[in-house]
Amino acid sequence: MREIVFDTETTGLSPGGDRIVEIGCVELENRVETGRTYHCYFNPERDMPSEAEAVHGLSSAFLSDKPLFADKALELIEFLGDAKLVAHNASFDFGFLNFELEKAGHECVCMTRMIDTLPMARTKHPGAKHSLDALCTRYGVDRSARVKHGALLDAELLTQVYIELTGGRQIGLGIEVSDTSTVAVAAGIEDAPAPRKVRPARPHAPSAEELAAHRAFIEKMEDPLWSKVA
């Protein structure tokens, strides 16, 4: 099962008047990180309110030479594919994503693809704090690189939280550990981090030599139990 955990940074809270300025996506296969990510900054074609800049650190000057969302829309659509899309307070991110897609002349993402970790956290931990920071603390997810909000950084943190919310794994024994330097860059206003290499699956099928050795071993066994089964 393929899923994409994603996060957006915006100029404000209202799709239309406000715009997406950054998106970060992390690919999962059967709740395991594959190493594939998508990250991009966008020129919002408007000013950056000081309140929003204080949250994510992305200034109008920094974003002025970045591509428009419409210029990267097909690239993003290809990465998302038909996967389920996981976000924290997902209606916010879906609202902005679908506004930008529609504005760029593309179909909106169907809301049936949405997986929202916020109600999941509220159900599992009633009465507790449910912000991403609070959930990272609860599950022992290292968020020391989160100086400011960053779409790829937050998507990577949410990936670990989502895995814990849906069954979990021991922190520190995951398939892949994020490169701290990459995460730190994603949190700031530097250029997008280089994509990590996708590791191919290890072969698990026995070789012809191993099969032959196994048959030879079995043939040496005297009166094995399975020979008595009709």
Q: Which residues are catalytic?
A: 149
Can you tell me the distance from the alpha carbon of 196 to that of 176, in angstroms, rounded to the nearest whole number? 11
Burial of 174 (0-12, 13-18, 19+ CB in 10 A): middle
Can you tell me the distance from the alpha carbon of 177 to that of 112, in angstroms, rounded to the nearest whole number? 30
User: What are residue 25's DSSP bridge partners?
Assistant: 6, 38
Three-class DSSP category at 186: helix
Can you tell me the distance from the alpha carbon of 171 to that of 141, in angstroms, rounded to the nearest whole number? 7
Report CA-CA distances (Å) from 185 to 108, 111, 148, 174: 30, 31, 11, 22
Length of the chain: 230
